[in-house]
Structure 1
């Protein structure tokens, strides 16, 4: 059984995710706990930009402390094989879950929406922008969401290298100002929260499917499909999808509004709602 690779002090058990720049492994630490280890792809190890991006991800995630965000545990970006170690989050990506079992409804939808808003509020309170809130980056266990993947996150105030025509994030869930090449703000993440909640409620991307150009055009025109999203969630989603970023509520406000309006969905989460 000694075939498992090691990285730092971690035993790699198997691949659980792969992107264009990194591979995510399920791993075990020295105490026998399961963790997620994100390793930079070998061909990028000598590329300063890729290593710098991993370092920024580690720095941003280290600032966030939330019950609904995967915690950073360790990392070595200067190692021969750069890596970061995160809390392993059991569950299923929202997109896969909804595809397999259908959309969320009733109290489950309300709890999901509120907890995802709390996750985002904690990210913003830490001075971080996630920039890729989308069904693929929300892991769900029951109706408890955990926000993952700070790969393109930014600490507020840092220079953002974004220009018109360069789409950073998951296109179907991007705020219109980002498509136009403007700077990301907390309001941009709030727009993505709303689009993600709409998907959870309907099983459909709210700006449709198809070509990147077509989806972006509908986002810019505000052509949104919210049929099937129940109240009071629908009203809050509409506010969060406003074209003007300054007109969108904050994530913390949305969490509080969901607690007040949805009756018995508060569960045990009252502490961070204000």
Structure 2
């Protein structure tokens, strides 16, 4: 395979069979703030996810630095529930990162198409995603953007993707911009209030993602960013459509005060009780509803 790329197309609109490094593009999968993701094949014919930095950012040292941090974060992590890194070229003319290919739909697509998850499926997602976050934190990384769109379901098991704004806990360069990097509605209130990036950021996103999966609705609504962030800060989630047996657990897990939130292990145990037809209030102590 030639180490070349089709010359008459921009990197942002690669044609099928274009070649980047050692990988041949099969199809475009999607795009985000940092790059365009393609399904590609390596020289052995194995499928991979190939993220290419946008062409406008090729000469942007800050964009390359962000991609390098993503690579540094991924190289620290080993987990079946994380789309781990395979290869990367940050310094070449076309910067890219290659990760494990996960042939499954995103959690938000599943919920949008089929409705809220059944209790046992919700528990399965909660356990698998918690395992991913534990592995990330054990590697001294904070994902910072745990949300349904970044959770792929492979035969019902979650795989966390997209470390584009991940934070290395020993990297102080990102602490000053924590407020502006992330997804409103899935950022912990303490971050919105100007606190530092900590593992609590990911556990808040985990709880908010579970609330979405249980209800089929963004837990803090849609609309203007200021309005969404204000609801997060108040601890005012929209849990309409959530089973009344489950709502107290999610309400507690989304408290704006970290000390009032049940521990993630308590949440997982309560979801298991719920999956078997029990009431979560038999397992956790819940806070009163906001006035």
TM-score under structure 1 length normalisation: 0.87
Choose 239-248 or 13-22, whichever is displaced more. Answer: 239-248
Distance in 1 (CA, whole Å) between partners of 2:138 and 2:248 is 24
The alignment status of 1:88 with 2:134, answered yes or no, reads no
Structure 2 match to 1:63: 76
Structure 1 match to 2:282: none
How many residues are paired up? 263
Summarize the alignment of residues 88-127 of structure 1 with structure 2, pairs less than 5 Å apart. Answer: 88-127=101-140
Structure 2 match to 1:272: none
Give the secondary-structure state (helix, strand or coil) at the position aligned to 1:171: coil
Give the secondary-structure state (helix, strand or coil) at the position aligned to 1:25: strand
Summarize the alignment of residues 152-191 of structure 1 with structure 2, pairs less than 5 Å apart. Answer: 152-163=165-176, 166-191=179-204
Contact 1:69 1:119 (C-alpha < 8 Å) held by counterparts: yes
Summarize the alignment of residues 1-274 of structure 1 with structure 2, pairs less than 5 Å apart. Answer: 4-163=17-176, 166-230=179-243, 234-248=247-261, 251=264, 253-254=265-266, 257=269, 261=273
Distance in 1 (CA, whole Å) between partners of 2:25 and 2:246 is 41
Distance in 1 (CA, whole Å) between partners of 2:177 and 2:163 is 22
Shift of 1:180: 2.1
Shift of 1:264: 6.5
Shift of 1:20: 2.7
Shift of 1:229: 3.3
Distance in 2 (CA, whole Å) between partners of 1:101 and 1:249 is 29
Shift of 1:257: 2.6
Structure 1 residue runs of 4 or more that deviate by more than 6 Å after TM superposition: none
Shift of 1:51: 0.4
Shift of 1:133: 0.4
Distance in 2 (CA, whole Å) between partners of 1:129 and 1:78 is 24
Choose 256-265 or 158-167, whichever is displaced more. Answer: 256-265
Shift of 1:211: 1.3
> Could you list the runs of 5+ residues in structure 2 that have no partner in the other structure?
1-5, 7-15, 278-291
* CA RMSD, Structure 1 to Structure 2 (Å): 2.4
Change in CA separation of 1:232 and 1:146 when aligned onto 2, cut-off 3 Å:
farther
Contact 1:190 1:248 (C-alpha < 8 Å) held by counterparts: no
> After superposition, what is the alpha-carbon deviation per residue over 1:18-49, rounded to whole angstroms, capped at 9, x for unaligned?
12321111100111110001111111111111
> Could you list the runs of 5+ residues in structure 1 that have no partner in the other structure?
266-274
TM-score under structure 2 length normalisation: 0.82
The structure with higher relative contact order (CA 8 Å, sep 6+) is 1
Give the secondary-structure state (helix, strand or coil) at the position aligned to 2:120: helix
Choose 253-262 or 89-98, whichever is displaced more. Answer: 253-262
Distance in 2 (CA, whole Å) between partners of 1:138 and 1:34 is 19
